Amino acid sequence: MAEPATEPALARRPVDPGPGPSLDLASSSPGGPGAGRPVEPPRVRAGRAPVTPRPSLLDGLAVSAVRRLARGQVVLHGPGSVEPVAVASDRPGPSVHVELHDARAARALLLRGSEGMAESYIAGWWDTDDLTGLIRLLIDRLRGPMGLLDDVARRAARPLAWARRARRPSPAADRRNVAAHYDLPGQLFEVMLDESMSYSCAVFEPPGVTLAQAQRIKLDRLCDKLALGPDDHLVEIGTGWGGLAIHAATRTGCRVTTTTLSEAQLEVATRRVHEAGLADRVTVLGRDYRELEGTYDKLVSVEMIEAVDWRLYPTFFATCRRLLAPDGVMALQAITIADRSFERATLHEDFARAMVFPGGCLPSLTALLGAVTDATDLVLVDLEDIGRHYPTTLARWWENVDARWDRLATAGFDEEFRRLWHFYLAYCEAAFLERRISDVQMVLAGPRWRPDGPGGPIRRDR
């Protein structure tokens, strides 16, 4: 693991409660996987007490919220003698309580979009008994009339989107963006993840399996879809913490060459490979995927495409095709966004991109397959949506962080980082639950690939 920082570095960013965009999770990115360094919100100045919400403020906030609340109920509580104000919809849904500690939270919650919501929560201006439920209600209000506004914004953004196509990110910028997320002190990921250190969607089939078991099921599926065997040489773009490379080499006997831009992941994955006795089967590189050379039988990339700029999708797939033998097969696991939201997501910087995952962008299926068609002769031979498993994955990650927080506090993580990470995981969980985003595994095959029998290489043990 990378050496822990004595105090996680958080850049200071002021909370501006002025007008801004509505909450938008259309361009959020977990993981997913596939990432920036968190931004610290301002603290209340020393000697200045938080502003006490007045009854009239709560009433005004309730009126503003009820106009957009599509379902469920939010009960707003102020300090002292201020009576709670219930904001309810005619449709059933989550019932959430919100405790306002500072009047500035009201404007940040409703007027500054996901960044204002996150910053005010991290600053401690408000609390709730169900963070995921609250975010779900605010996502849901974007449907109906708010959805029409999203369409208008998407069409208006097209000229700007074309103008920005000329400004492509550099490999150096990619390396900085990856480091900002994955090079956080190593205890965070050790505490949050299972023993395989898999930082991507697990597969909870059958229901009731542990997180570790669900991650092994996911890895097994990828190995099966690629039909990996001892004669194969697999190249992996995006090492993570080495879990897939170790699992594939151990389970199938294949050789693996894997690469990452994260120095922390390079160090940890290399150490784990040696500890597993697989140094003769697994090679870990710290190179940009575009710099890889050679020809491989199989290729895999798990929730790494989210860190690839949308303008570089053709480059990514062209590189994959160059690395694959003509009869080769590649498996890609990707967090995806709805096609109708993709264009706006390429321009809009939401909470996740601003405070957790700089440079990230979620692809749509159309964008991915369009790039495959434009840049390669690869053919889609299998597609499976596993997004329904991500909310459970994210919930398990937060349970691990929450239960083991003392260990992270000892390593220098403070309460504001704890609240940021809680918001990040809840934000992503809500987006998956509301189907604003999903997660897919797709298999692409070269022109000379032919299936071995009716099932081909896509074998699933269900």
Radius of gyration of the CA atoms of the chain, in A: 23
85: CB partners within 8 A, 6+ apart: 58, 59, 61, 62, 75, 76
CA 343/CA 114 separation, integer angstroms: 18
Distance from C-alpha of 174 to C-alpha of 100, rounded to nearest angstrom = 39
Q: Pinpoint the alpha helices (H) of 376-456.
A: 390-403, 405-410, 415-433
Q: What angle do the packed helices 390-403 and 415-433 form, to 10 degrees?
A: 160
Q: What H or E segment, with its residue span, contains residue 444?
A: strand 437-445
The tokens of 231 are what? 């004669």
**Within its chain, how far is the Cα of 292 from the centroid?**
25
Give the Cα separation of 25 and 337 in Å (integer). Answer: 10
The rounded distance, in Å, linking the Cα atoms of 432 and 336 is 10
Tally the C-alpha atoms within 13 A of residue 312's C-alpha that lie toward its C-beta.
20
- The DSSP element (H or E) to which 236 belongs, if any, is strand 233-237
Annotation marks residue 201 as catalytic: no
Sheet holding 85-88, edge to edge: 85-88, 73-77, 95-100, 126-128
Ranges of beta strands (E only) in 1-121 are 11-12, 39-40, 73-77, 85-88, 95-100
Alpha helices in 112-260 (DSSP H): 113-122, 131-140, 145-156, 158-164, 171-182, 187-192, 211-225, 243-252
Q: Give the residue numbers annotated as catalytic, written as ranges.
A: 428
